[in-house]
Structure 1
């Protein structure tokens, strides 16, 4: 093969370009240098050549300074890359710069590296998050926080802002409603405030974009539960979420994510509303027993089931759509700001 190529180069147009299409094993550089490019370089050193591998299935882990398998790796649009899509040498350089070993990383990150779906940027984001003590504990102990912070490093800031607004407005509304009875009925105030805080947490948590690298099937659940989890795991967290390598969602899956997200938030609203109503009734009953003179003789009982249904419908429709749109606008704004900053 090398003889035919060198003959064509010698007899052809010296200013032209020769394109050779052949099997990957014939042109991969390797450490021994016995492939076609190595043989041509020995006899025609002044000729410039570039080796491009089309849709390589595997990449060996190499260290900096070692000979790569090719000059370029080309993944065609006709064959989307679903694994082994990132240069292992670049991954190794990021890990060496951080002074970390693969075995010390969480299981989902390790699996993503093995499959080649963890980009150097994702790995660098993980190491950057480890610099903050509180965030470091969260990303190592809780997979949910890790998945959300890798997708959006500002997730905790957004959650804190939402919780701050929720708690402040709830307390102000309770004070405006109760006036001089505010501290006397502080138990009711706490019940409603905690209910609002929990609901607001899940309203931000559920539609937040995630980077999930660990397959749900690895949890070893039962068959029926595994089927449900597998179905939910095949959908994006919100309709506008950008997937990583190997995650390509169609329009039907994105539409289904809106419906599933609405059902989740509706369930949160229903359960939390019932819990708040029951807690309020229990507190009222305890007040009547412990201090009958401190409360009014008659207290209209709130319709728990009706209130829960209305609140559930509100979260499943209005809140669900608003927060899904808000998250895509926030992430897009952060990415645009980062691009403008990097461009000076």
Structure 2
């Protein structure tokens, strides 16, 4: 079927429209991008051609009197699909197999299904995540976790790996620095460790790929806040993120995502550094009050809070931002998914994350 369509596109009018009558099996995307739409969408070079796939079998799932929402799926190289992109019969099959009703889903997921921008694979991922109590709580209560876990079900694994590496290396560095004073100054150790843990959380959170359905559900208003949200929402989460339904990022948008990611991480670094500096001074003052006889000036080198915050924010916004963009987009999302597709071993993806993030952590300490 896909070869026939591509042949007609090549031989037909470069500005024409091709109508194809298919069955339900032809319009499904499948678990790894199989099906006619996935095969032809990347091969369409002429920007003004449109392929319409009619599915007469879909008529049987509509009740009499209902308004036809999508009688066809269309795929064009001119612009990304933003409405009726997936077969509703397949969506209904996934819902029925899970024994779930549309009303029980989060609001953004409901609107995404209504608009036809939620694929059967994303919906199945949602139901699979619901099987685990912790995951179910996160994806129902927190939109940020839902957007990241639907785009990458291994997001929490990557977060846990980063935090484990961060806490371990920070504690080892603090022990090497303080030696015998490690347990006496455990409060300072914990302050630095907590700051590092918070920063590393955002280094994983910010460049992680997301699937945001609100950009489709909200058509946009004239409000300046909505306009700003729309501009930010049009950027990928990292420069190497794969294109998703309704988004086809160009080189300028990918470059802008690097700058935006750098600004976000710089802000995180600045605020966390000031917080750690203030906490350190408070702890130092409390120690002097509780132990006035102790000589605590020895070994204490106090750096200016504002200068330290500026230096740390610049480091996160430049070096760290670029490294984590590569890890999240190029290594984990692209290379990791390709390895998973060939070997179907989740351990490979986790091992790749562990090795890349360990090397990155060591490299970051040397910069």
Give the deviation of 1:140 after TM superposition. Answer: 0.7
Cα root mean square deviation, aligned: 3.5
Q: Which of 310, 316, 338 is the matching residue for 2:340?
A: 338
> Within the alignment, does 1:312 sit opposite 2:310 as a pair?
no
> Within the alignment, does 1:108 sit opposite 2:108 as a pair?
yes
Distance 1:28 1:89 in 2: 14
Distance 2:274 2:222 in 1: 30
Structure 1 pair 216–262 and aligned structure 2 pair: CA distance change class (3 A)? farther
Corresponding residue number in structure 2 for 1:234: 234
> Within the alignment, does 1:322 sit opposite 2:323 as a pair?
yes
SS of aligned partner of 1:75:
strand
Corresponding residue number in structure 2 for 1:34: none
Distance 1:23 1:330 in 2: 38
Give the deviation of 1:76 after TM superposition. Answer: 3.4
Task: Confirm or deny: 8 A CA contact 2:73 2:84 kept in the other structure.
Answer: no
> Within the alignment, does 1:192 sit opposite 2:174 as a pair?
no
Aligned residue pairs total 297
Give the deviation of 1:338 after TM superposition. Answer: 2.8
- Which runs of structure 2 are paired with 1:25-40 in the superposition (5 Å)? none
Where do 5+ consecutive residues of structure 2 fail to align? 1-11, 24-50, 346-367
- Which runs of structure 2 are paired with 1:108-257 in the superposition (5 Å)? 108-215=108-215, 223-257=223-257
Q: Deviations over 1:97-116 (max 9, x none)?
A: 01111110111111110111
Q: Deviations over 1:72-114 (max 9, x none)?
A: 8552334642210111000000110011111101111111101
TM-score (norm 1): 0.77
Task: Confirm or deny: 8 A CA contact 2:72 2:84 kept in the other structure.
Answer: no
Distance 2:219 2:303 in 1: 42
Give the deviation of 1:223 after TM superposition. Answer: 3.3
SS of aligned partner of 1:301:
coil
Task: Confirm or deny: 8 A CA contact 1:102 1:110 kept in the other structure.
Answer: yes
Structure 1 pair 190–141 and aligned structure 2 pair: CA distance change class (3 A)? same
Distance 1:288 1:71 in 2: 75
Give the deviation of 1:294 after TM superposition. Answer: 3.0
Structure 1 pair 221–164 and aligned structure 2 pair: CA distance change class (3 A)? farther
Give the deviation of 1:218 after TM superposition. Answer: 5.1
Distance 2:105 2:243 in 1: 22
Q: Deviations over 1:123-175 (max 9, x none)?
A: 11111111111111111111101111111111100000000010111111111
SS of aligned partner of 1:96:
helix
Distance 1:79 1:62 in 2: 30
Task: Confirm or deny: 8 A CA contact 1:216 1:230 kept in the other structure.
Answer: no
Structure 1 pair 297–316 and aligned structure 2 pair: CA distance change class (3 A)? closer
SS of aligned partner of 1:112:
helix
Task: Confirm or deny: 8 A CA contact 1:195 1:273 kept in the other structure.
Answer: yes
Distance 2:52 2:221 in 1: 39
Distance 1:118 1:275 in 2: 41
- Which runs of structure 2 are paired with 1:80-95 in the superposition (5 Å)? 80-95=80-95
Of 209-218 and 170-179, deviating more is: 209-218
Task: Confirm or deny: 8 A CA contact 1:217 1:226 kept in the other structure.
Answer: no
TM-score (norm 2): 0.73
Task: Confirm or deny: 8 A CA contact 1:287 1:295 kept in the other structure.
Answer: no
Give the deviation of 1:182 after TM superposition. Answer: 1.3
Corresponding residue number in structure 1 for 2:262: 262
Where do 5+ consecutive residues of structure 1 fail to align? 1-18, 30-52
Give the deviation of 1:235 after TM superposition. Answer: 0.9
